[in-house]
């Protein structure tokens, strides 16, 4: 699938494509060499039961992302890559919800507060991370990725897509911001279901 032009942001034209249509060099550019993204490589929710995050060095996490995203391969893929005027600028993790074992099995996460939900339903997809590369922030990249995630899940037969964003970024730790904001998912057509904590919401769109 060719990259789809979503909208201009300032003077930059933002396009988004599945990670298996990108290159590993593009993902490396987005995740960078330092900071939370370069330590996590979008693995916090992916580790299966019995695997401690701290026991996997960044290079192991990076290799796992490479296998999951399958950049340059035939797919399937675990996410989307955004470009601003052709430069790799962002990443969005979006897959069937059961792919995120760390999300599904942890009953203390805000996703499950006061909800009677089949966590193992593969027809429900989830967005667990939206990352914008330093130098490309506040240009609409995250909002474009949220909209693309909705289209991506719908096109692949999802019955619904969920996200678990911050309700406010004030005083938030840098490590918390990967879940995105209520506003960017609302702009993508998602509806707020609940606010299980003061700082987190559950948002969803049914197809």
pLDDT confidence of residue 1:
45
Question: What is the SS3 assignment for 79?
Answer: strand
User: What's the pLDDT tens digit per position in 118-162?
Assistant: 888 999 999 999 999 988 988 899 999 999 999 999 999 999 999
With a CB cutoff of 8 Å and minimum separation 6, the contacts of 14 are 5, 6, 7, 8, 82, 83, 84, 89, 139, 140, 141, 144
pTM of this prediction?
Answer: 0.89
Of 40-54, 111-125, 191-205, which has the strongest mean pLDDT? 191-205
pLDDT of residue 175: 62
**CATH number reported for the structural domain that contains residue 25 in this entry:** 3.40.630.30
Domain that holds residue 163: 4-206
In the chain, how many domains are there?
A: 1
Q: What is the mean pLDDT of residues 85-101?
A: 96
Is pLDDT above 80 for 15? yes
Nearest partner of 16 among 81, 72, 71, judged by Cα: 81
42 pLDDT band (50/70/90 cuts)? very high
């Amino acid at each position: 699938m060719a990259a789809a032009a979503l909208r201009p942001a300032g003077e930059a034209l933002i396009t988004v494509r599945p990670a298996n249509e990108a290159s590993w060099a593009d993902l490396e550019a987005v995740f960078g060499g330092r900071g939370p993204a370069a330590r996590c490589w979008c693995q916090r929710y992916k580790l299966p039961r019995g695997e401690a995050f701290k026991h996997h060095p960044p290079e192991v996490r990076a290799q796992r992302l490479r296998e999951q995203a399958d950049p340059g391969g035939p797919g399937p893929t675990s996410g989307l890559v955004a470009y601003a005027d052709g430069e790799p600028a962002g990443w969005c993790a979006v897959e069937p919800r059961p792919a995120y074992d760390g999300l599904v099995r942890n009953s203390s996460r805000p996703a499950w507060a006061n909800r009677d939900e089949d966590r193992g339903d593969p027809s429900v997809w989830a967005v667990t991370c939206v990352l914008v590369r330093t130098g490309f922030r506040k240009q609409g990249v995250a909002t474009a990725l949220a909209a693309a995630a909705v289209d991506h899940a719908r096109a692949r037969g999802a019955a619904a897509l969920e996200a678990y964003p911050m309700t406010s970024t004030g005083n938030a730790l840098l490590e918390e911001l990967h879940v995105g904001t209520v506003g960017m998912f609302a702009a993508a057509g998602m509806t707020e279901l609940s606010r299980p904590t003061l700082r987190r919401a559950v948002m969803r769109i049914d197809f």
